[in-house]
C-alpha cells in the first residue's frame, strides 16, 4: 500500500465484506453470530497488517494484549466489529475500525460502515457539510446513552439522535447528519481511535470531554470519554459539559 491510510481503508473494507458474507450466510444468530464475526474479522485484519507492516505493533479488542506495544512508536488500534449487537441483530449501524497511532496520537485510520456501503478514511477526508440547523443535532448511544449527553443536549437545546456503534455515531458528525457526538463511560482505545483520526482529518474537533487531547497506546487502554463535534460548537459543548458536571 502506498500509505498507512490506504492500508487502513483497504483492510477495513475487506473485513467489512467478510462480515457481510458471514451474516448473510449464517445459520447462527445473536451472540454466537457476533462472536464469530469478531473472531474471523480479527484474524483477517491481524494477518493483513502483519504482512503489510511487520515491524508495527497491534492493539486489538479481540486479541491478547501483552503490553509490548507500549514501547513502540507505531501501533495499530483495531476494533474488528464495533457494534456487535447491532451486527448480530441485522441492523446497519455497526463498523470496522482500523487506526494507526503514532507517538500516542491518532494519526491515520479508517472507519468502514459495511452495511451502509460507506468507508471514511483520513486520506479521503474533509467532506462538505451542510449548515448547522437552528437546533444542533447531538448523536448518542442507542443502548447505553449517558446521562451527561442528555443533560448537555438540554443545555444546548440540541435535538438528540440515537445510533449503535461509536464509529457510526462519529461518522454521522463527519458527514453532516449530526453536529456533536458525546460519550462518557465504558469506551476503550479501539472504540474511538479510528473515529477520532477520521474526525480530526475532516477538520472536526475531537478530544476528551474535559477538552484535553486524546492519547493512545497507554498501558491501560481504557479511554472512557469522547467529544467529536464541529469546531464552531466545541467551546459551547465543552462549556455545557463543565456546567452539567459542576
Annotated binding site: 61, 79, 81-82, 191
Per residue, the 3-state secondary structure of the chain, as one string, reads: CCCHHHHHHHHHHHHHHHHHHHHHHCCCCHHHHHHHHHHHHHHHHHHHHHHHCCCCEEEECCCCCCCHHHHCCEEEEEEEEECHHHHHCCCCCCEEEEEEEECCEEEEEEEEEHHHCEEEEHHHCCCCCCCCCCCCEEEEECCCCCHHHHHHHHHHCCEEEEECCHHHHHHHHHCCCCCEEEEECCCEHHHHHHHHHHHHHCCCEEECCCCCCCCCCCCCCECCEEEEECHHHHHHHHHHHHHHHC
Which residues are annotated binding-site positions for Mg(2+)? Answer: 61, 79, 81-82, 191
Amino acid at each position: 500500500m502506498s500509505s498507512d491510510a490506504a492500508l487502513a481503508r483497504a483492510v477495513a473494507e475487506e473485513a467489512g465484506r467478510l462480515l457481510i458474507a458471514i451474516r448473510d450466510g449464517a445459520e447462527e444468530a445473536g451472540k454466537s453470530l457476533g462472536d464469530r464475526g469478531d473472531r474471523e474479522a480479527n484474524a483477517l485484519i491481524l494477518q493483513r497488517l502483519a504482512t503489510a507492516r511487520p515491524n508495527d505493533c497491534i492493539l486489538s479488542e479481540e486479541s491478547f494484549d501483552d503490553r509490548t506495544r507500549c514501547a513502540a512508536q507505531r501501533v495499530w488500534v483495531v476494533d474488528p466489529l464495533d457494534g456487535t449487537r447491532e451486527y448480530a441483530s441485522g441492523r446497519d449501524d455497526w463498523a470496522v475500525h482500523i487506526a494507526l497511532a503514532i507517538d500516542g496520537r491518532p494519526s491515520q485510520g479508517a472507519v468502514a460502515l459495511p452495511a451502509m456501503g460507506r468507508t471514511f478514511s483520513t486520506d479521503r477526508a474533509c467532506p462538505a457539510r451542510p449548515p448547522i440547523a437552528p437546533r444542533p443535532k447531538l448523536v448518542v448511544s442507542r443502548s447505553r446513552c449517558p446521562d451527561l449527553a442528555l443533560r448537555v443536549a438540554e443545555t444546548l437545546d440540541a435535538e438528540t439522535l440515537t445510533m449503535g456503534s461509536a464509529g457510526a455515531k462519529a461518522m454521522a458528525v463527519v458527514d453532516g447528519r449530526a453536529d456533536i457526538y458525546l460519550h462518557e463511560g465504558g469506551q476503550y482505545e479501539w472504540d474511538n481511535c479510528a473515529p477520532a483520526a477520521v474526525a480530526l482529518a475532516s477538520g472536526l474537533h475531537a478530544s476528551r470531554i474535559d477538552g484535553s487531547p486524546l492519547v493512545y497506546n497507554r498501558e491501560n487502554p481504557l479511554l472512557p470519554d469522547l467529544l467529536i463535534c464541529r469546531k464552531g460548537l466545541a467551546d459551547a459543548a465543552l462549556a455545557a459539559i463543565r456546567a452539567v458536571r459542576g
